[in-house]
A and B are shown apart, each in its own frame.
Chain A
Amino acid sequence: MAYYIARRLGLAVMVMLTISLLSFLMLKMSGDLAISMAGEGSGADYVEFLRKTYGWDKPLIVQYGDWLWKALRGDIGTSFYYGSPVLDLVAKSMPVTLTLGAWAIVIALGTAIPLGMAAGSRPGSWIDRIALFIALIGVSTPIFWLSFVLILVLGLEFAVLPISGGGTPAHFVMPAIALAFYSMPAIIRISRAGMIDVMRSDYIRTARAKGLRPHQIYLGHALRNTLVPVVAVASVQFGFLLGGSVVVENIFALHGIGYLTWEAINQNDYPVVQAALLTVSSAYVVLTLLADLLNVMIDPRIRLD
């Protein structure tokens, strides 16, 4: 077990290093921070001065090395655009994104698991068709489109929810629904498939033969076994939600990690982009690891080694 966790974490560090190097290079190639910072109309000599001061005139790999060396010692730097420590910016935005992600995953699981299980218990029935249709719509609906439909209906037509901004639970409802809809299809499919598998198994036949009622069979025997793959998918989905919140946070003007990343990319503010990417990717790594461990708890037959 310990070996397994160590190996996974080791791999995760390699993945994160690769991500950070790639994002650093892409950002450096897409624009010039010195010109953005100097502002329109500033002379080239001042742009040159900024480059020298911040060390942006050095070779890219040296700049990356400087950043990495500091980051490894816990100093992830100061935002060039905001002028404040990156850690402060991330710490301020993280609660917003986590709240949003948590709401979204609760909504997604709360609707997708029952729907998927109901569909899987009676394949080919009307409920199965509806579930598959919802999954199809979920996959093919662009998240921004759904967001604006929600704004039109709940924000303007019925005017029951605030359209943008943060601060109250009401502000999270529409963005959470939009995000949840985005991750529902995978969960519906996996819980439906799991249910179909489980219902064919011998122990369910035995349970039926014993004369157990359907709800006892579903909740007492089928649910737990169906959940194994769902846990894995759900944790991956939560990671997606943290990343996928870039679009939703911008539309609903929620000032979380997604919004911060978007602003930082626009400004070529690479310390912030790096920090945001590392935060999201490390959350992702931790979540998949947790999912594996959780699966061991749910199903003792699984051996990690």
Chain B
Amino acid sequence: MLNPLRRGLFAVLAAGIAFSPLAAHANKANDTLVAAFQAKLPSLDRYHSPGREGFLLGLLAYDALLYRDPTTFEVKPLLATAWRQVDEKTWEFDIRKGVKFHNGDPMTAEDVAYSFEYAANPDSKVFNRMTGGWISKVEVVDPFKVRVISDKVTPLALEYIIQLPIVPKAYREKVGLQAFAEKPVGTGPYKVSGGSGNDVVFTRNDDYFEGGGKSKPKIGKLIYRAIPDVNTQVAELIGGGIDWAYYIPTDQAEKLKRLPMVDVINADTFRIGFLTLDAAGLSDPKSPLKDVKVRQAIAYAIDRAAIAKSLVGGASKVIPSACTPSQFGCITDVTQYGYDVTKAKALMAESGYANGFDIDIYGYRSRPVAEAIIGYLNAIGIRPNLHWLQYSAVIQARRDHKTPIVIDDFGSAGVNDVGAALPFFFAESPDDQSRDPVVTQATKDAGSIADPDKRKALYATALKQIADQAYWVPMFTMPVNYVMSKTVDVPVPADENVEFWRATWK
């Protein structure tokens, strides 16, 4: 016989279970995978959905003409069955026949032309101008053949094509952009089938075509749930409310590893961390950073391996040069600066700064990493003054020539080619703090020719010069932690573009 207090407690528990929706929670039994993300999708129109979540939306509900394998980075057919370069500035694509949009409309070259023209038009204000801005004209040759023409030679054309989703011309024009953003239609492996404030529900596209790089989903339903707080995500993972989450901080991931209900996998992304140094003296004509020896001293002073191991954690590796190692054109046999305080101090003394100097340093991402860097710089006499701001404010400060040192990182906007980062940070761009003619020339030349071997050679020239002159302090790769329920297997990509359609229940 239970005492009254315990009976009361049981009654409360029973009542709680009765009206809690735990029973309805999605999982293996009802073929529904619940994935948690920190950010809400601002729009379901891929052209207006930025960030890494926008990438995932693009892959789930839409297809591009081409597809990049997330582990081998090989470019494969998707909505295009074949493609060829007609001349240096013209690409031709054969469009797959028999593909239907989620609303049943057939997908043709007209839709491709419409999508590309939308992406190319600055008035569309798409979130990422880079992927469509290079296109100057699209010609529909026949209902299943298009030609994409650019004004300039665009070596990254195919990398951009991979990111341009094909949207249905007739439907999108009929319903308008606002309605399309709520009820989008694509050709992708999942259809958007509804959603409330918290969730977006994706259901399997049973008519998904065969023969492309993507495939019909194995799991019937996918729920995109926005949970901004990582601690809450972790609690939901433990409680079984969600099946999958990523970008879980390393300290949390380490604890989760010990739990029986989840798997933790740490995998690399394209994102790398580095310091940009104002070698041109833009922020101050008398800046000590104009002296190559001072820049080299900074590179020697920081124990990057220690930061990568204990602060970034997981699979993070020190990067030897100013690029993501997996990218086309990235070379690593350049001048290296291992952790060597004696050498750093000697270089400081040689350049007349034996007593160090005060300098402003800007950051926005990881405060512990910033503080570690400051500690290492203190050890050779440099006294950094940290400005901790939002990303956009730091970038604007650099463009306004106010930042001697920026603790920065870059994800190459998903482009697997050095050609994404170098023109952004060098070649006299607004973010170029070195203004080095050798780097500028090589980067500009590499961006205007199509020949892969020549491009590689030019990028090698630029990367060697950047290392010799220590314009950057390359730091480490920035892997992320994926945490998923033991009941499900979601393949982990090397470029953070998770392919939920390949997920299976165990």
Residues on A lying within 8 angstroms of B by beta carbon are 30-44, 46, 49-50, 53, 81-84, 92-93, 96, 148, 151-152, 154-156, 158-171, 250-255, 259, 262-263, 268
Contact = CB atoms under 8 A, between A and B. Distances in A.
Interface string B106-137: 00000000000000001101011110010000
A31 B196 contact: no
A32 B241 contact: no
Interface stretch (B17-25, B207-215, B311-319, B480-488): B17-25
Given A40-B413, A41-B413, A83 B43 contact: yes
The residue among A46, A96, A171 with the most chain B CB atoms within 10 A of its own CB is: A46
Contact of B50 (A39, A162, A163): A39
A49 B133 CA distance: 13
Contact of A31 (B19, B123, B389): B389
A53 B124 CA distance: 11
Contacts of B229: 250-251, 253
B56 interface: no
Nearest to A170: B20
Nearest to A267: B42
A65 to B, nearest CB: 23
Contact of B129 (A36, A46, A155, A163): A46
B40 interface: yes
Interface stretch (B67-75, B139-147, B231-239): B231-239
B181 A84 contact: yes
Contacts of A251: 229, 231-232
Contact of B241 (A37, A93, A162): A162
Contact of B198 (A31, A156, A166, A263): A166
A233 B133 CA distance: 57
B392 A49 contact: no
B14 to A, nearest CB: 9
B90 to A, nearest CB: 23
Interface of B: 12-13, 16-17, 19-22, 39-40, 42-43, 45, 48, 50-51, 122-123, 125, 127-130, 133, 177-178, 181, 196-199, 225-229, 231-232, 235-236, 238-239, 241, 389-393, 395-396, 399, 410-413, 420-421, 424, 429-431
Contacts of B232: 151, 163-164, 251-253
Given A43-B130, A46-B129, A166-B196, A160 B48 contact: no
Contacts of B420: 41
The residue among A30, A37, A43, A165 with the most chain B CB atoms within 10 A of its own CB is: A165
Contacts of A93: 197
B42 A163 contact: no
Given A92-B197, A161-B20, A253 B392 contact: no
B411 A43 contact: no
A253 B241 contact: no
Nearest to A37: B127
Given A39-B128, A168-B21, A155 B239 contact: yes
Nearest to B127: A39
Contacts of B421: 41
Given A81-B42, A167-B21, A170-B19, A32 B395 contact: yes
A96 B225 CA distance: 17
A152 B181 CA distance: 37
Given A32-B393, A84-B43, A263-B39, 11 more contacts: A34-B392, A39-B127, A41-B130, A83-B48, A92-B197, A163-B235, A165-B199, A166-B198, A253-B232, A255-B40, A262-B228
Contacts, number: 163
B122 A30 contact: no
A165 B225 contact: yes
Given A39-B127, A41-B412, A155-B239, A268 B198 contact: no
Contacts of A163: 232, 235-236, 239, 241
Nearest to B45: A83
Contacts of B235: 148, 151-152, 155-156, 163-164
Contacts of B128: 38-39, 41-42
Given A41-B420, A163-B241, A50 B410 contact: no
A34 B396 CA distance: 10
A31 B429 contact: no
A162 B430 CA distance: 49
Contacts of A155: 235, 239
A114 to B, nearest CB: 20
B392 A160 contact: no
Contact of A40 (B122, B125, B410): B410
A148 B252 CA distance: 15
Contacts of A169: 19
A37 B20 CA distance: 39
A96 B410 contact: no
Nearest to A169: B19
A28 to B, nearest CB: 10
23 contacts: A30-B390, A39-B50, A39-B129, A40-B391, A41-B130, A41-B412, A41-B420, A43-B130, A46-B122, A53-B123, A83-B177, A84-B178, A158-B13, A160-B13, A162-B21, A163-B232, A163-B241, A168-B21, A170-B19, A250-B229, A251-B229, A255-B197, A263-B228
